[in-house]
Structure 1
Amino acid sequence: MNVAPALAQRFIDDALRNDHNRAILQRLPALALPDAWLVAGCLFQTVWNLQAGRAPDAGIRDYDLFYFDGSDLSEAAEAAVGARVQALLADRGIVVEAKNQARVHTWYRAWFGHDYPALGSARDGIDRFLVAGTCVALQPGPQGPVLYAPYGLEAIYQGVLAPNPLCDHRALYLRKAADYADRWPGLRLTAGTTETAGTNV
């Protein structure tokens, strides 16, 4: 990860302007989940909201937690974690989804029609979001939130959406990117070789 310290701090500060993100990061250690991170949409969409002059949490559908527990790959174990997460954050009035990255390969093909490798950490899952620039995560640390952004932060602040070569499922990417651009009209989509404004993909 090669992110300028000033930009990294700007991103963390922006993400924490969403009070839900701040609360989740404050409470996350209480769950004692292995390799746990707050990831993706609730972070970069907060930035897009601020750039668009909206409330930090406007239009954010859910808040995602990734963790990695290779000791139990069952759906039941993941559901039990999800129930603990919802109980801990029930007062926030938001949807929080917890996904065990150790088991994604067991269900991905059935849901999305593509093979998915067995992962070795939660960060391996963060690396594989369909839109490259949205591969971002925060984790509580002793000196404040720890940032993970394997592809940098520039694309988020520039409003450029591009497919992730590590998980290049183009139809899925275009569907997700078009949804983002429909909700935040200033974004620009690329299909790998061409760039398109708005939703005209």
Structure 2
Amino acid sequence: MSDHLRLAGADPARQLQALSDIIRATPLLMAVLAGLRELGLSDPLLVSGAIYNSVWNHLTGRPLLVGIKDVDVVYCDDGDLSYAAEDRVIRRARVQFSGAAVPVEVRNQARVHLWFPQKFGMAYPQLKSSAEMLDYFATKTYAVGVRLEPDDRLSIFAPYGLDDMFSFRLTPNTLLHNRLTHEAKAARVVSIWPGLTLVPWPDGA
């Protein structure tokens, strides 16, 4: 097995510890997690690309920012579902993360069901938590979120486990009919990481 796949198929607890160690060793991720905590948003999570790209960079010895064009952070607040309320948070986050090495994008997951059908042509459930949004990622590999708790613990959410990420494998999630998103994002990721295994969208799903 190639060294970058040394955690493929490993015990889930070992993979979880490895992810935690990699996050703590990545200044960008820790800075964003700390800033997200300081914002005091409801149910905050750092999710997706900045996480799996950081893991792959660590495992292959590539520079820390390879593949990371921005950092996605989310929160879930159904107290005010207007875009104006979300925009106020976006502007606060822009100030909070003004010194970040890459842009930090923040979105309210309680609002996704309002705009998702128009953008993607399919219904989307009204989410009750930030972690719930991970269930609906078009690619299971990307469905990872993390939060820095008040006591400095890392809470990690990965509904489909971590083995796809540590195996450098892009596995589709057919919970929504989101094949185009799976394939489009895979094309970009594979262009950066040609050693990835792309699992095709199953016929008829």
Task: Please confirm whether the aligned pair reaches a TM-score higher than 0.5, indicating the same fold.
Answer: yes
Kindly provide the CA deviation profile for residues 142-182 of structure 1, in whole angstroms up to 9, marking residues without a partner as x: 25211111111110010111111223311221111121111
CA shift at 1:38, angstroms? 0.6
Q: Which residue of 2 is the match for residue 121 of structure 1?
A: 129
Between stretches 77-86 and 32-41, larger displacement belongs to 77-86
Q: 2:98 aligns with which of 86, 90, 95?
A: 90
1:158 aligns with 2:196: no
Q: Is 1:172 matched up with 2:176?
A: no
Is 1:29 aligned to residue 29 of structure 2? Answer: no
For residue 193 of structure 2, what is the aligned residue in structure 1?
184
Q: How does 1:36-185 map to 2 (within 5 A)?
A: 36-141=44-149, 142-185=151-194
Q: Give the unaligned 5+ runs of structure 1.
A: 195-201
- Corresponding pairs, count: 192
TM-score by length of structure 2 reads: 0.87
Classify the secondary structure of the residue corresponding to 1:51: helix
Q: Which moved more, 1:45-54 or 1:69-78?
A: 45-54
Q: Deviations over 1:77-133 (max 9, x none)?
A: 111111111211111242111110000011112222222111111111122111112
TM-score norm. by structure 1 comes to 0.89
Runs of 4+ in 1 over 6 A off after TM superposition: none
Query: Matched residues, percent identical?
Result: 34
Unaligned runs of 5+ in 2: 1-10
Backbone CA RMSD of aligned residues: 1.6
How far, CA to CA, are the matches of 1:109 and 1:67 in structure 2? 20
Q: Cα offset for 1:140?
A: 1.0
Indicate if the aligned counterparts of 1:15 and 1:44 stay in contact, CA closer than 8 A. no
Matched position secondary structure for 1:70? coil
